[in-house]
Amino acid sequence: MTSARFDVAGLGNAIVDVIAKADDAYLIRHGIAKGAMTLIDPHRAKLLEDTLADTTIVPGGSAANTIAGLASLGGQGAFIGRVHDDWLGEGFAAGTRRIGVHYDTPAAKDGASTARSVILVTPDGERSMNTYLGASVELDEGDIDEELIAASKILFIEGYLWDSETLKGAVRKAIRAARAANRLVAFTCSDAFCVGRFRPDFIDLIENDFDIVFANQDELVSLYETSNFDDAFQNARATGKLFAVTRSEKGAVVFQGSAVHLIDAMPDVQVVDTTGAGDQFAAGFLYGVAHDLGMATSGRLGCLAAAEVISHIGPRPAVPLHGLAKSAGLL
């Protein structure tokens, strides 16, 4: 792949995660949909935060988590996303730069406060996200650094961004910048909630604008409105695009046209928290693509990164992924 300053530039919602353990009774008591991402207002966010005694606060957001995982593998990453000029925004920026990720999107002086997601982790490791999008959805075309995108081998876009005309304009400007520089464009479906809302747009973008697509099996089935995974797989394969589809304990399937690789999940992993599993799979896979390691090895890196992150609380690696990958013979 043509040399560049960055391996991947991520474009997404800049969110601070507020993570806490909770049981199913808590979810029922507060009317929280288990295993889903629900959009909430700032008052609801405050109400939930006030009920939680022990929380972990870390920079988050889907694409930002992926770029953090890329950095943990030793890759060079950049992130574009808007925060507000408040203490949460300062914490997001400082935490992002501290792990070696390039981040220089100017903080907003006016408008909504920095986005945050209250994430409840139940004993089975499932995460239920309650997200106030705040300043993150005020990202606009003026925030898109075309030179930074041109200096990145891959532009990575999260599906959560496809939520308003302003955000769509920012995404399209970023895609144009990547195309003008002959760079790859990768996309994650993010959530079945997103797929259900934006299915026609996502299919059009996959066919015309994206080179690499990430989804889990439920998102893929929803995307193509089929009753089973096999039919969805055939529909996706017909696009000719590179797909990386996660299947929980079944691992992943990576395919493009007639090339299909079944990737086993990492063995003997105790599931503590599934938050960030898809984000870290994308981190490993994108690192492999950026470094020309091939589809199969890229898929194995993705499964390794996902296995690490589900073994502890939080959406980002707790130990350097580069060392784990070297020990596994993947680097």
Which mean pLDDT values do the consecutive 10-residue runs of the chain (331 residues) have?
90 92 95 92 92 87 97 98 94 94 96 93 90 94 97 97 94 98 97 92 97 97 95 97 96 96 94 91 98 98 97 91 97 95
The pLDDT value recorded for residue 163 is 87
Domain assignment present for residue 107? The answer is no
The pLDDT value recorded for residue 254 is 98
Domain that holds residue 68: 6-12+60-97+138-327
Question: pLDDT tens digits for 49-72?
Answer: 899 988 888 899 999 999 999 999
Domain assignment present for residue 19? The answer is no
Domain assignment present for residue 31? The answer is no
The pLDDT value recorded for residue 67 is 98
Contact yes or no for 138/82 (Cβ under 8 A): yes
Domain assignment present for residue 1? The answer is no
**How many Å apart are CA 325 and CA 303, to the nearest integer?**
11
Domain assignment present for residue 27? The answer is no
Phi and psi dihedrals of 156, rounded to 5?
-115, 125
Question: pLDDT tens digits for 148-198?
Answer: 999 999 999 999 999 889 999 999 999 999 999 999 999 999 988 899 999
**How many Å apart are CA 77 and CA 289, to the nearest integer?**
14
Residue 187 is part of a domain; what is its CATH number? 3.40.1190.20
**CA distances from residue 263 to 53, 115, 122, 267, 323 in whole angstroms, order as listed:** 39, 35, 27, 12, 20
Domain assignment present for residue 36? The answer is no
Phi and psi dihedrals of 320, rounded to 5?
-60, 125
The pLDDT value recorded for residue 327 is 97
The pLDDT value recorded for residue 154 is 98
Domain assignment present for residue 303? The answer is yes
Domain assignment present for residue 26? The answer is no
Our measurement of the distance from residue 63's CA atom to the centroid of its chain's CA atoms, rounded to an integer in Å, reads 4
Strands (DSSP E) contained in the chain are: 6-11, 15-21, 37-39, 56-60, 77-80, 102-103, 115-121, 127-132, 152-158, 184-188, 212-216, 242-246, 252-256, 259-263
* Number of domains the chain is built from: 1
